[in-house]
Amino acid sequence: MGIARKVLQRLLYKKLCSKGMHPYMAGDIREDYLKELLDNPERLSLKQRVWAWKRGFLAQKLNNYKLNESNYRDYLSDYDYYMLYPLNNRFVTWIDDKLTLRYMLDRFSAYLPDYYLEIDMDGRRNRLPDFPQKYPRVDDASLVALITEKGVLAAKQNQGSGGDGFYRLEYRGGSFFANGKSMTEQEFTRFLRSLRGYLITEFIVQCDAYMKACPSAAHTLRVQTARMPDDSLNVLFSFLRWGMDDRDFHVAHSTAGVNAAVDVENGEIHSVYYLDKQNRYHENLTRHPVTDVELTGKVPRWDEIVKTCLQIHGYLSELSYIGFDVVITNDGFKILEINSHSGIRTYQHVYPMLKEKRCKAFFAQKLKEKKEG
């Protein structure tokens, strides 16, 4: 990294923090700004980039949201959204640590994956509530027996986000696999020993309908709930994401995939789109571009999912803003994780959030509270 870039990093970081932005978010967004300023991956003119930055948006949103002078006020800007972190104040730690969340939601464990094992930062293995009692020790032999019995497990970082570091662990045909890479039993146990800060959990098998759309990775349904200024709980927005092809082992909302908005009133799927490798949008689809499976209709179990998410939010009463990641199964649904500061790009690509009454009221109140300190 050049000296000039390092200097700009520090100056921008200090500037954002002085405006009241949390250091975590200031460190995150400064990299996006610098990338756009110095590398310009979107190939936009300086005039275009400055226009976006002055209005609080990363320049990439010019294309993503189709921003112009007449519509940009309808969108929640990147600057404002980053400035609001943490929307859940000190209680953000309840969500950011997946293991803490598992114990807090013990009464809702039927809606969570089974949690088998924690691997802490020094490699120590800790038995979790759902580790089978028939295995008295948490050792290599027990883990090999567990994966052999279950066939597939999930390994995810305890405090990771966006699918970073996710592994699909499998046993089939006498071989072990991590994200499709074949291993001997010795190699597999060595791989497990190398993990730090991980949880080993049940791998949720998605419903047959969405399995046909992308068999290699489970879809995710984001349900964003919020405590409104009048203290009521509402679903602000929702969207679905499916994987694209066999290279996908985990569908994260920050990665490439097939996206769709969901009508929060009735669960109807609409505005299906994806971004190809040439950075071109393909809009208004009705079928998956790879598997040709139809992606329209109502989200399965929508009413039950909404009821449960709002019930959990009511139980976690100190939290004001919760993004649920849900996978629908053949006999119900599971909540994979909860997000404290959900990404909004996917939904705003389809619909400007500040044109929606509930979204506008919620964020206006939060921005007012932030300004008043």
Confidence of residue 329 (pLDDT cuts 50, 70, 90): very high
Give the distance, in angstroms, between the CA of residue 241 and the centroid of all CA atoms in the same chain.
10
Q: Are 325 and 101 spatial neighbours (Cβ–Cβ below 8 Å)?
A: no
250 pLDDT more than 60 = no
Confidence of residue 254 (pLDDT cuts 50, 70, 90): very low
The confidence score (pLDDT) of residue 34 equals: 94
Confidence of residue 362 (pLDDT cuts 50, 70, 90): very high
Mean pLDDT value of segment 192-221: 93
| Tens digit of each residue's pLDDT (9 = 90 or more) over 116-139 | 999 999 999 999 999 999 998 899
CA distance linking residue 366 with residue 368, whole number of Å: 5
Number of alpha helices (DSSP H) and beta strands (DSSP E) in the chain: 13, 14
39 pLDDT more than 70 = yes
Q: What is the mean pLDDT of the chain?
A: 92
Name the packing angle between helices 185-194 and 140-150 (round to 10°): 110
Confidence of residue 292 (pLDDT cuts 50, 70, 90): very high
pTM across the whole model: 0.92
Mean pLDDT value of segment 51-68: 95
82 pLDDT more than 70 = yes
The confidence score (pLDDT) of residue 369 equals: 92
The confidence score (pLDDT) of residue 318 equals: 94
CA distance linking residue 75 with residue 52, whole number of Å: 12
The confidence score (pLDDT) of residue 43 equals: 92
249 pLDDT more than 60 = no
The confidence score (pLDDT) of residue 238 equals: 96
334 pLDDT more than 90 = yes
Mean pLDDT value of segment 60-78: 96
Mean pLDDT value of segment 286-297: 94
207 pLDDT more than 90 = yes
Confidence of residue 372 (pLDDT cuts 50, 70, 90): confident
Least reliable range by pLDDT among 141-155, 218-232, 238-252, 266-280: 238-252
The confidence score (pLDDT) of residue 162 equals: 58
Confidence of residue 211 (pLDDT cuts 50, 70, 90): very high
Least reliable range by pLDDT among 140-154, 168-182, 272-286: 272-286
Percent of the chain residues topping a pLDDT of 90:
79
Confidence of residue 330 (pLDDT cuts 50, 70, 90): very high
Q: Which two tokens stand for residue 335?
A: 């909540």
Highest mean pLDDT out of 1-5, 93-97, 100-104: 100-104
Q: Are 146 and 176 spatial neighbours (Cβ–Cβ below 8 Å)?
A: no
The confidence score (pLDDT) of residue 253 equals: 45
Give the distance, in angstroms, between the CA of residue 197 and the centroid of all CA atoms in the same chain.
18
- Show the domains of the chain with their CATH numbers: 3-83 (no CATH), 89-109+207-372 (3.30.470.20), 114-202 (no CATH)
Mean pLDDT value of segment 227-245: 92
- Tokens 């990439």 belong to 60
